[in-house]
């Protein structure tokens, strides 16, 4: 393993943005950025041993700032949506910026994904640290978050989040990388997706969960058995109409807090590349890149289009602060937030 870092650009406040490269023994590598604690590139071999970059992203650091897709970054404080930008904690109501129709999305326009994190190389890992002040984007309490990435010769990218706060708050962290296992030689509608999720969360038209989960069986939301992403994507079904494709949270079977469970598998028949995703979190949001048209120019001279990549976002459920029956997203003094996501790449 080799790890290196360099200055890649500057944030709006002049803070230097660093890019890091972690290289496995066989040359497969990952690139990370301190802007949004982002995954910039994952270059892994196909069935013929040819390396290809399977993550959507941009050549310029500055293009990651406030990009619509939130490519590869870690949004926060609360990934996904909070209805109407309001929640109540310990009897006090908090108001958050509304930036997605009537709702608050990914911590708002100044969320963690658009901040330059502190960063360092720690042996064969890279750590990003962000301090979020009490009241930032409307959230209560001072919060310290660390995102740690490790890349191994086994082509497993491990992301662990830890956080502590000095007061009661809510927290939901994920990574928003988009994957295309053909290395963008085709879109992802032919990729085969399998989810360890026999239920999903139906939503209203603004993608806020209605409440209880429902079985996927007999619906286009069923990925319990692998199927091409595009097979049912144009079905006459509310969830698919609301989001112009998949943009839904699936409930991971056998969820146990703190226990790493398999959430998803993605396979590209053309390249032979496969991705298995594991997490300690209760949900996985599948977003099929339904609105990628018009995003910044991509790496390697690419122009991205709708359905060119799929995001597999392991997280707590959307609108959890307003849904007391969901697994809690509260963090209190004396507690340590600890969650993990593993992206394991292979060839079949």
Residue 176 annotated among the catalytic residues of the structure: yes
Residue 155 annotated among the catalytic residues of the structure: no
> Out of 106, 176, 191, 316, which one is annotated catalytic?
176
Three-class SS of the chain: CEEEEEEEEECCCCCEEEEEEEECCCCCEEEEECECCEEEEEEEECCCCCEEECECCCCCHHHHCCCCCCCCCCCCCECCEEHHHEEEECCEEEECCCCECCEEECCCCCCHHHCECEEEEECCEEEEEEEECCCHHHCCCCEEEEEEEEECCCCEEEEEEEEEECCCEECECCCCCEECCCCCCCCHHHCEEEECCCEECCECCCCCECCCCEECCCCCCCCCCCEECCCCCCCCCHHHHHHCCCEEEEECCCCCCCCCEEEEEEECCCCCEEEEEEECCCEEEEECCCCCCCCCCCHHHCCCCCCCCEEEEEECCCCHHHCCCCCCCEECCCCCEEEEEEEEEEEC
> Out of 136, 192, 313, 339, which one is annotated catalytic?
313
List active site positions. Answer: 176, 313
């Amino acid at each position: 393993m080799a790890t290196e870092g360099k200055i890649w650009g500057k944030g709006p406040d002049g803070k230097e943005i660093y890019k890091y490269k972690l290289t496995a023994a066989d040359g497969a590598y990952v690139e990370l950025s301190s802007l949004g604690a982002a995954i910039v590139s994952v270059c892994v071999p196909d069935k013929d041993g040819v390396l290809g970059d399977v993550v959507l992203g941009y050549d310029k650091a500055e293009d990651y700032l406030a990009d619509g897709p939130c490519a590869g970054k870690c949004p926060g404080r609360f990934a996904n949506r909070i209805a109407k930008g309001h929640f109540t904690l310990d009897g006090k109501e908090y108001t958050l910026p509304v930036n997605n129709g009537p709702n608050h999305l990914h911590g708002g326009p100044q969320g963690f994904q658009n901040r330059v994190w502190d960063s360092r190389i720690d042996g064969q890992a890279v750590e990003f640290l962000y301090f979020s002040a009490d009241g930032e984007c409307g959230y209560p309490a001072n919060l310290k978050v660390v995102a740690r990435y490790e890349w191994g010769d086994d082509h497993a990218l491990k992301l662990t989040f830890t956080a502590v706060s000095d007061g009661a708050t809510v927290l939901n962290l994920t990574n928003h990388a988009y994957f295309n296992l053909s290395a963008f030689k085709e879109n992802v509608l032919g990729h085969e997706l399998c989810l360890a999720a026999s239920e999903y969360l139906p939503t209203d038209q603004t993608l806020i969960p209605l409440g209880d989960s429902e079985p996927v069986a007999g619906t286009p939301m069923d990925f319990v058995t692998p199927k091409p992403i595009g097979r049912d994507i144009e079905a006459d079904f509310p969830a698919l109409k609301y989001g112009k494709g998949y943009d839904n949270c699936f409930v991971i079977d056998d969820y146990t807090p703190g226990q790493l469970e398999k959430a998803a598998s993605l396979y590209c028949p053309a390249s032979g590349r496969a991705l298995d995703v594991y997490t300690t979190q209760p949900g996985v949001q599948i977003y099929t890149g339904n609105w990628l048209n018009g995003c910044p120019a991509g790496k390697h001279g690419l122009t991205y289009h709708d359905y060119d990549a799929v995001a597999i976002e392991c997280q707590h459920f959307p609108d959890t602060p307003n849904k007391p029956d969901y697994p809690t997203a509260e963090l209190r003094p004396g507690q340590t937030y600890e969650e993990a996501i593993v992206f394991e790449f292979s060839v079949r």
